Structure 1
Amino acid sequence: MLSYRKALWALVFVANLAAASSAQAQYDTAFPGAVQPFTDVNLENYDFQWFAPPITEQYGQDTIDPNTGIFFEYHRLFMNVNRGNEAPGPWDGDATYGNRIDFGFMTEEDHGWLFSGWRLDGPSYDLVNRGDFNSFEANRTWRLPQFYKGFWMEPMIGMRYAQFNDKTAPLTFVQNNMLLGQLGTRVFSHRGQWTLKGEARAFAGNNFVFRGNIDDYSNAVVGGEFALGAAYNLTREISLDVFWNTMYFGEGIGRDPNANDSESMFISGVAFGVTLNR
């Protein structure tokens, strides 16, 4: 197990070094900040009028552009997690709760960063489906020009670390540690006091599976995430959100502590929360 942990942290370290050196090598002063790993956020130009009246005009018309600057989102998650292949009713799932936080910034030059973290405290169905899930991702983002009737697109590229601990077996839990690269996009459109939005990500990487004193192993993992929802803008920079979110991991998840198995995992449900300047 120690060797896999060392390999996992080595991969994280090397990936960060490679990203930083690549960005430095490709830097072009004709496009400042376009490929730099981090861009200065000029807070002096942001008025932070959280309670200004909401914008009701469609983005892209009457010189109304989408928000720039820093943003923060919090959502309460109500999700369903499928059971392992050896559990009773393997096609069923069990409900759990969790939290999601997103934060980052978008500059006036239409590039920025998005960081997102998940935490699910369950499911908690003893001897059938028990575990917890954690995820953190960092994405470089860009905003493309308006492309169709007020719709805007923000492509992203980044990395994700996801961990799923299966605690269904009473004596041994299975820990899945996934290091993933990902591509995705966010699409949104403003209509009156409503913002319609959708997100999609595809990811792939390696899963390091630890099983206590039992031999560890690793699997390749491919999957994706999809979200579709709407936000009601209370003020110019504060909105209430609701969306449906689904995350799928293809073959590669370890859930049986007594076998080097490779299963899929499906997490789906709804989220309610608040967004500041998005």
Structure 2
Amino acid sequence: MSVRKLTASLLTSLAMLGAIAIGNAQEHVPPADPFAFEPDFQWFRPVTDMDLADMKPKKRANTGWFATYDRLALYASRPELDDLTSAETKLDLGWGNRYEIGYMLPDVEHGWMFTYTNLHGPSAYDTVIRERLNRTNEGDLLPYGSKDGVVGPPFGAIVPAGDGNVLQYNVRQYWVQDALNVLEYDSFELNKHWRMEPYHYGGILEPFVGFRWSRLNDYNVRQDYRTTLDGSLLSDLILGDDYERLLTDSTITENDVLAGQVGFRYIKFRDRFTFSADFRAFTGGSLQCAKTQQTVDTTVYDGNGIGSEVSFELVDKTTPVYTRNEEFVIGFDIRGEMAYQLTKSIKLRGGFQVIDFATGIWRGGPPQGPSNLLIGGDSDQDVVMVGGTFGIELNR
């Protein structure tokens, strides 16, 4: 056999072996690679009612990569404190966001969904404005080029800045605040979804199971303003006859909720509209930590009238006290939405959401703070957040 024929025979054998190996390997590869897709980026291509009418519900459901964004306006319940100032039946408004990104395999009808939700607020305070002892810093009102050489805003500044008037008010004052309902909420979810076969009238059910990590931070603040002018402070041998004091007791209570959850999503298509409902129930543990601290701000003056100068200011802060606790948590999350098919890949949608932590949330901090100002709450409370949502959905 010549060298040329031998070489041709070897190449043919190698090609056959490679084909067999590739065929065997294809039996074990995933049905689809989530990162190997060819998007056409025609998100804004118009879509007609006829296009949607000809599509079966299974074809209209999200496949491949998809994402949503919603703006949240949720009312949150107030904390249950151990005094008469609490009003847990009241609700206060807070604003937040919800982001979702998911991937659904088109052939085997299962995939993953990641959800991040945050709520900034509510930030409800009971506020009283108190004028400070010298009421107005006259030097802060002088225009540029005054004869006495003192330069006021906007080309100069009072040094230190804390001795100047409150910007836009032209007086020196404190906003003495007591917190009524102040919290921040963040939640991370990862769920495994399964898409069932459409029902007779086109509805699709997607059961899912997943994990949820939520953090709810509650802020409890009480302030008290005292001065020698109204008799709430007495003359001091060192501080003198004219001084004021602002006491601030504060507690930051963190609740880290680690929970497993189960739920379902139901989707129904009708013309350009998509109706959906989500329900998830979760249970787990709440790791709680409360940080309590007091700040005392004392300002000493050389008099008690307009134009009195600040002699010096003393700020004292106590050592923070940490308290830890653990509680059992159970709750649910309900969402309902209606979306309108605007273009080929974009939907506008609106709806509502209810988040209920039925047990295991600590608000207000320990029952007794560093002074009689701060009254805390129980470590096993409930929190309800309810309101509306509005957003956009993108499916490639």
What is the TM-score of this pair, normalised by structure 1?
0.82
1:155 aligns with 2:193: no
Q: CA deviation at 1:32?
A: 7.9
Of residues 174-183 and 212-221 in structure 1, the stretch that sits farther from structure 2 once superposed is: 212-221
Q: What is the DSSP-based 3-state SS (H/G/I as helix, E as strand, rest coil) of the residue aligned with 2:37? A: helix
Q: Which residue of 2 aligns with 1:190?
A: 269
Q: CA deviation at 1:98?
A: 0.7
Counterpart of 2:210, as a letter, is: G
Q: Which residue of 2 aligns with 1:211?
A: 290
Do the aligned partners of 1:248 and 1:264 also contact (CA within 8 Å) in 2? yes
Q: Which residue of 2 aligns with 1:166?
A: 218
Q: Which has the larger radius of gyration?
A: 2
- Structure 1's unaligned 5+ residue stretches are 1-28
Alignment match of 1:241 (pick from 334, 346, 349): 349
Q: Which residue of 1 aligns with 2:117?
A: 118
Do the aligned partners of 2:66 and 2:101 also contact (CA within 8 Å) in 1? yes
Instruction: Give the root-mean-square deviation of aligned CA atoms.
Output: 2.3
Q: CA deviation at 1:154?
A: 1.1
- Structure 2's unaligned 5+ residue stretches are 1-25, 126-178, 223-249, 292-320, 368-377
Q: What is the DSSP-based 3-state SS (H/G/I as helix, E as strand, rest coil) of the residue aligned with 2:344? A: coil
The number of aligned residues is 245
Of residues 218-227 and 67-76 in structure 1, the stretch that sits farther from structure 2 once superposed is: 67-76
Q: Which residue of 2 aligns with 1:229?
A: 337
Do the aligned partners of 1:179 and 1:207 also contact (CA within 8 Å) in 2? yes
Do the aligned partners of 2:251 and 2:364 also contact (CA within 8 Å) in 1? no
Do the aligned partners of 1:223 and 1:249 also contact (CA within 8 Å) in 2? yes
Alignment match of 1:133 (pick from 185, 194, 197): 185
Do the aligned partners of 2:253 and 2:288 also contact (CA within 8 Å) in 1? yes
Which 4+ residue blocks in structure 1 deviate beyond 4 angstroms?
A: 29-34
Do the aligned partners of 1:176 and 1:209 also contact (CA within 8 Å) in 2? yes
Q: Which residue of 2 aligns with 1:56?
A: 52
Q: What is the DSSP-based 3-state SS (H/G/I as helix, E as strand, rest coil) of the residue aligned with 1:252? A: strand
Alignment match of 2:393 (pick from 266, 275, 278): 275
Q: Which residue of 2 aligns with 1:91?
A: 89
Residues of 1 paired with 2:323 and 2:67: CA distance?
Answer: 41
Residues of 2 paired with 1:225 and 1:31: CA distance?
Answer: 39
Q: Which residue of 1 aligns with 2:240?
A: none
Identity %: 30
Counterpart of 1:83, as a letter, is: R
Of residues 176-185 and 162-171 in structure 1, the stretch that sits farther from structure 2 once superposed is: 162-171
Counterpart of 2:74, as a letter, is: M
